[in-house]
Amino acid sequence: MASVELVGVEKRFGSFSALQHLDLSVADGEFLVLLGPSGCGKTTTMRMVAGLEEATAGEILIGGRRVNDALPKDRDVAMVFQNYGLYPHMSVAQNIGYPLKVRGIGGPDREGRVKRAAEKVELGPLLHRKPRELSGGQRQRVALARAIVRTPQVFLMDEPLSNLDAKLRVTMRAEIKHLQHELGVTTIYVTHDQIEAMTLAHRVAVMNGGVIQQLDTPEAIYDRPANLFVAGFIGSPPMNLVPGRIAGGTFQAPGITIAGAFPAAGGDVILGIRSEDVTIAAPGEGSIEGQVYASELTGEAVLVTVSAGGARLIARAPRSFRGGFGSPIALNVDAGKIHLFDEATGRRIAFADRSDGG
């Protein structure tokens, strides 16, 4: 087990810059998730840690040792691939045992360790099967078992759940979390699924355009998004974002006026509010008046999209809510949960009564 550090790492493919000056440090035993849309550089970052991709500039350290020039085999990491990366001509047992075999560990020692790893992921009875005779979830378990069969310094997981169906994904997510906790191995996990990121991570690095947008705990990223990208990327449904203007301590947008403890010299801003911080009210009883654009029952709640002025806001209403298309409705906003972003830079604006420092 070891820490992982990336210092000023850059990656260019020809003239395309995939990563720009990335600084990232993962503590020993930490579960760090790299989260971002496709093409944001998260997989490239992980592949550089693995040694499958060379860094154009900067240093990569595993356990304090510079590994830029080390081959993948000498970095003592284990990786779980999106497509599992199993060896189709080998049985499950041979697949799991391969990392031991290439390290010259044979005989009963290898057998025992393969068996223990297989049992940990509940693969015991399938050891003699070939990968093609397994279901997607079982293949994923083989890939996991192969990663844990020897205790590497770092686990790397590249979207390991994205090929599984939704139900299995939830189960496997919990198993991965449990396994990582039990083994205490430093883990870097790449995903574009924010739920996976929120549920698994100790810390999340939200990436976009080859730059880390925010690196913090899931709570902090949810509660205090550092910029518009993070605000829009995290949360389902995404945060409501309303462009407008602050003048005299009041937020104003076409058809929307919100009074609150806003900074006096606000100027052009974008106001963000999560759907669960917006409550519905009878027409005339809220701060924002509008009409129901659509309402969607999710099971535990109803998501009501309201068109107010030039904007559309999503509110989370109790599951008993029934509002017809176009019926008038009012919304109230929890003033303490409002986020403000600078319209020009997209950065979060900290304001008076909020001790978020962000």
Partner 1 sequence: MTEGSSLPGAIAAAPRPTRAEPVRLSSRSRRRIAGAARTLTILLVILVFFGPVVWIMLTALKQPRDVYSLSVIFTPTLDNLRTAFASPYFLGSRTLNSIIVTTGTIVLSLPIATAAAYAFSRFRFPGGNAWSLGVLATQFIPPVIIIIPLFVAFRSAGLLDTRLALIIANMSFVVPYSIWMIKGFIDAIPADMEEAAQIDGASRLRAIWDVVVPMAIPGIATAAIFAFVVSWNEFFYALVLSRQDAVTLQVGLMGARTERGDAWEIMAAMGLVIILPMLVLSRYVQRYFVAGLVSGSVR
Q: Does 83 bind partner 1 (CB under 8 A)?
A: yes
Interface residues for partner 1 in 135-164 (CB under 8 A)? 146, 156
CA nearest neighbour of 346 among 236, 257, 213, 215: 213
Residue type, 154: V
Q: How far apart are the first and last CA of the chain?
A: 33
Given 66, 73, 181, 322, the residue binding partner 1 (CB under 8 A): 73
One of 2, 33, 78, 123 touching partner 1 (CB under 8 A): 78
List binders of partner 1 among 5-64 (CB under 8 A).
50-52
The footprint of partner 1 on this chain (CB under 8 A) covers a number of residues equal to 26
User: Binding pattern to partner 1, positions 230-269, x when CB under 8 A?
Assistant: ----------------------------------------
> Angle 313-277-307 (CA atoms, 0-180°, nearest 5)?
15
93 binds partner 1, rule: CB under 8 A: no
Instruction: Choose which of 18, 30, 31, 99 interacts with partner 1 (CB under 8 A).
Output: 99
- Is residue 133 near partner 1 by the rule CB under 8 A? no
- Told to check if 130 binds partner 1 by CB under 8 A, we report no
* Residue 57: closest CA among 82, 26, 21: 21
Question: Which of 72, 238, 243, 309 is in the footprint of partner 1 by CB under 8 A?
Answer: 72
- Binding segment (CB under 8 A) for partner 1, from list 97-105, 159-167, 280-288, 290-298: 97-105
Looking at the Cβ atoms of 50 and 114, the one nearer to partner 1 is 50
Candidates 241, 237, 209; CA nearest to 346 is 241
- Report the nearest approach of partner 1 to the CB of residue 16 (Å): 15
| Residue among 155, 142, 41 nearest 83 (CA) | 142
Max Cα separation, the chain? 78
Least distance to partner 1 from the beta carbon of 55, Å?
A: 17
The residue among 36 and 99 lying less far from partner 1, judged by its C-beta, is 99
Does position 116 bind partner 1 by CB under 8 A? Answer: no
* Integer angstrom CA distances of residue 281 from 105, 285, 286, 289, 309: 68, 6, 6, 9, 17
How many angstroms separate the CA atoms of 30 and 237, rounded?
28
Tokens at 147, concatenated = 């990663």
Given the complex with partner 1, which of 147 and 253 has the nearer CB atom? Answer: 147
Residue 208's alpha-carbon distances to 19, 160, 254, in angstroms, are 10, 20, 31
Read out DSSP for 314-331?
EEEE-TT----TT-EEEE
CB nearer to partner 1: pick between 50 and 338 = 50
- Residue 65 binds partner 1, judged by CB under 8 A: no
Residue 210 lies near partner 1 (rule: CB under 8 A): no
- As a whole number of angstroms, the distance between CA 310 and CA 281 comes to 20
Residues forming contacts to partner 1 in the complex (CB under 8 A) are 50-52, 71-73, 75, 77-79, 81-89, 98-99, 102-103, 132, 146, 156
